[in-house]
């Protein structure tokens, strides 16, 4: 089975290097085809490895070579395929394959076609390193790799200032969090003597609670940045400036899921510090509601879907924080299917609408984009948690976990958020596909996406509908490593009331969204009473958090930097360095005559030198001879 591990790991690297060979040449269709085939081969290998694990096979562990070996530090290039990593491998390669095939059509007219596939495949390779490594150091390599590739992909259209700004924001925000993660990794090694998962997890049981708490906190800070948890969340919505297939890959299978994966992979650590887990769960519940509230009023199609990702990440962290790691991993998997489908559907709409993102300028598109309408509607049903779609089985299990653990505040927040999710999801569907054909006043003539793009999306459509049936075998597979077990509500009546009540609540939210926006016929101009209300402005401006960051962090930092540059760097540091250089330059200029080659001049300098040396000899000789008398005189003077 080792050969399949290597194929799954290195096929994306080969895909990236192959595409990179053609980055300086005009668009070549076969670059996208070959890249997609190589990613598909990684998916097939991952599927074979999944079958091996599900059939009861032993986890596959390989050490390719030694990376670092100095003193007591030993870090190999080691990789492991177990229940956690193989799940992530399947999600990453499946979604990546679909995104690659879809991108052949989406990026068809882009001059950077070849460069796009080089970055996209490198992104997949970095994520595979992250999830397959058997140690924290290897995970960190992949961690930084996805950060770099996200910078290249978010800022792919670098001729747009807003795209480069968004890429830099994502990169810098993650570097802030990564400092915390590095401290966590140093603490792991300092206290356990290893960065290998197996050795570190075994040593955690011997450490005191305070040490474990600090390790858990610092590792979670890294997860907060990568998975865009408050207050390091602002980059996620701004990352929508990249091409839509990038958004699908980032939000469904790669970068933002890395933080959740880190917490799940470190479950043996967080199980020992439940108080930190409760904080993670509480923050997750807050972020779920926080992000959903901002999606309620946003008028950017991709940002609405991005906020839904942020909200669902909150659900995942809530589950992981409560110790339901298997539920968090299942929701991560199910969410990848319908979220990728939503983003790719949004990409279809953008192409049809000439890159228009305001759903209020659309309407009635189901007449010309029937398949995209069906796909986005089903994806939204899954996102809302409607039975029998994928989201029902994963989200409702998270609600059950919160209820069974008697965390009623977290349960209430997540339940209320489920209603908001249903409302904003179908607000978007209603505005895009129903109501008046408002796009006509802008002279737009929409059309359906290429057939092969729709076919590529179809596996996601199917999985969004049926992924829930895999819940039981999935829980059975991961129970050995994550301790999976069903949550038992003390009364079956209570459980059924919860399930049915949630469905009714979510269903009413969907009906309200359709009633309010299903027949929308005009484009808001910002003059309505609702749009001028304080609550609307608060939500639309993201609680003014980006404004606060800009005013109270970015601007003061720029001002301090300006002062340090002009007052300190230029007038002190540069002036000192330039002054020293000027002194030696002037000295060289003034003594240049010494090396003129003129005999009389050189004789004069020789005589002067002899006089100086003789004078120094006389002075030092007299000082040595009369040193006693000199010291007596100085003592008498009190020196």
pLDDT, the chain, mean:
90
What digits encode the pLDDT tens for the residues 14-42? 999 999 999 888 888 889 999 999 999 99
The tens digit of pLDDT for each residue in 426-441 reads 999 999 999 888 888 8
Can you give the length of the chain in residues? 639
- pTM of full prediction above 0.75: yes
Rounded Cα distance, 51 and 32, in Å? 29
Nearest to 522 by CA among 440, 427, 425: 440
pLDDT at 637: 64
Evaluate whether 266 touches 219 at the Cβ level (below 8 Å).
Answer: yes
> What are the φ and ψ backbone dihedral angles of 79, each rounded to 5 degrees?
-135, 150
Residue 639: the pLDDT is 55
Mean pLDDT of 449-469: 92
pLDDT at 306 over 90: yes
Please report, in angstroms and rounded to a whole number, the separation of the first and last CA atoms in the chain: 87
In sequence order, the β-bridge partners of residue 61 are 80
Give Dmax (Cα) for the chain.
Answer: 115
* Contact of 347 with 369, CB cutoff 8 Å: no
Q: Report the candidate in 116, 148, 152, 153 with the shortest Cα–Cα distance to residue 129.
A: 148
Three-state DSSP string of 316-349: HHHHHHCCCHHHHHHHHHHHHHHHHHHHHHHHHH
Q: What is the CA radius of gyration of the chain?
A: 32
The per-residue pLDDT for range 514-567, each reduced to its tens digit, is 999 988 888 887 767 777 888 989 999 999 999 999 999 999 999 999 999 988
Tokens 């961690």 map to which residue?
A: 143
Q: What is the mean pLDDT of residues 245-268?
A: 90
Residue 489 has pLDDT above 70, yes or no: no
Q: What percent of the chain stands above pLDDT 70?
A: 97
Can you give the pLDDT at residue 434? 92
The string of pLDDT tens digits covering residues 181-214 is: 999 999 999 999 899 999 999 999 999 999 999 9
């Amino acid at each position: 089975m080792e050969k399949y591990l290597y194929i799954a790991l290195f096929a994306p690297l080969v895909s990236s290097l192959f595409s990179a060979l053609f980055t300086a040449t005009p668009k070549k269709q076969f670059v996208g085809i070959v890249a997609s085939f190589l990613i598909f081969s990684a998916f097939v290998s991952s599927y074979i490895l999944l079958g091996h694990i599900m059939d009861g096979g032993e986890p596959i562990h390989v050490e390719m070579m030694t990376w670092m070996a100095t003193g007591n530090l030993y870090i190999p290039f080691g990789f492991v395929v177990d229940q956690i990593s193989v799940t992530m491998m399947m999600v990453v390669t499946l979604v990546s394959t679909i995104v690659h095939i879809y991108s052949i059509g989406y990026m068809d007219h882009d001059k950077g076609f070849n460069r796009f596939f080089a970055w996209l495949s490198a992104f997949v390779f970095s994520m595979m390193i992250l999830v397959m490594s058997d140690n924290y150091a290897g995970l960190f390599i992949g961690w930084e790799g996805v950060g770099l590739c996200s910078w290249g992909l978010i800022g792919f259209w670098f001729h747009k200032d807003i795209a480069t700004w968004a890429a830099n924001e994502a990169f810098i925000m993650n570097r802030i969090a990564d400092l915390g993660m590095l401290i966590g990794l140093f603490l792991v090694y300092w206290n356990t003597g290893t960065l290998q998962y197996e050795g570190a997890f075994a040593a955690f049981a011997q450490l005191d609670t305070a040490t474990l708490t600090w390790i858990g906190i610092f590792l979670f800070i890294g997860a907060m940045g990568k998975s865009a948890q408050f207050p390091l969340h602002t980059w996620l919505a701004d990352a929508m400036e990249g091409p839509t297939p990038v958004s699908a890959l980032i939000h469904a299978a790669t970068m933002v899921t890395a933080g959740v994966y880190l917490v799940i992979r470190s479950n043996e650590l967080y199980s020992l510090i439940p108080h930190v887990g409760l904080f993670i769960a509480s923050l997750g519940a807050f972020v779920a509601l926080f992000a959903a509230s901002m999606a309620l009023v946003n008028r950017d199609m991709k940002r609405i879907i991005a906020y839904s990702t942020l909200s669902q990440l909150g659900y995942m962290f809530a589950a992981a924080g409560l110790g339901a790691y298997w539920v968090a991993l299942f929701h991560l998997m199910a969410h990848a299917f319908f979220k990728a489908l939503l983003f790719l559907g949004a990409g279809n709409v953008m192409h049809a609408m000439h890159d228009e993102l305001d759903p209020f300028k659309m309407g009635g598109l189901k007449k010309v984009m029937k398949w995209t309408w069906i796909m986005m509607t089903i994806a939204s049903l899954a996102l809302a948690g409607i039975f029998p779609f994928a989201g029902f089985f994963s989200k409702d299990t998270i609600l059950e976990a919160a209820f069974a653990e008697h965390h009623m505040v977290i349960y209430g927040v997540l339940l209320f958020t489920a209603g908001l999710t249903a409302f904003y999801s179908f607000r978007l569907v209603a505005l895009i596909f129903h109501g008046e054909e408002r796009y006509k006043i802008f002279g737009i003539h929409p059309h359906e996406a290429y057939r092969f793009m729709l076919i590529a999306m179809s596996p996601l459509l199917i999985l969004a509908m049926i992924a829930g049936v895999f819940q039981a075998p999935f829980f059975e597979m991961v129970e050995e490593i994550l301790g999976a077990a069903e949550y038992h509500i003390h009364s079956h009546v209570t459980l059924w009331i919860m399930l049915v009540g949630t469905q009714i609540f979510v269903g009413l939210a969907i009906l309200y969204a359709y009633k309010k926006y299903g027949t929308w016929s005009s484009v808001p101009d910002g003059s309505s009473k609702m749009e001028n209300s304080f609550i609307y402005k608060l939500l639309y401006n993201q609680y003014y958090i980006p404004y606060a960051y800009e005013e109270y962090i970015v601007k003061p930092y720029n001002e301090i930097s300006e002062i340090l540059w002009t007052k300190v760097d230029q007038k002190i540091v540069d002036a000192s360095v330039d002054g020293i250089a000027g002194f030696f330059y002037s000295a060289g200029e003034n003594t240049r005559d010494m090396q003129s080659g003129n005999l009389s001049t050189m004789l004069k300098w020789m005589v002067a030198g002899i006089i100086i040396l003789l004078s120094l000899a006389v002075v030092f000789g007299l000082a040595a001879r009369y040193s006693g008398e000199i010291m007596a005189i100085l003592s008498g003077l009190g020196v």
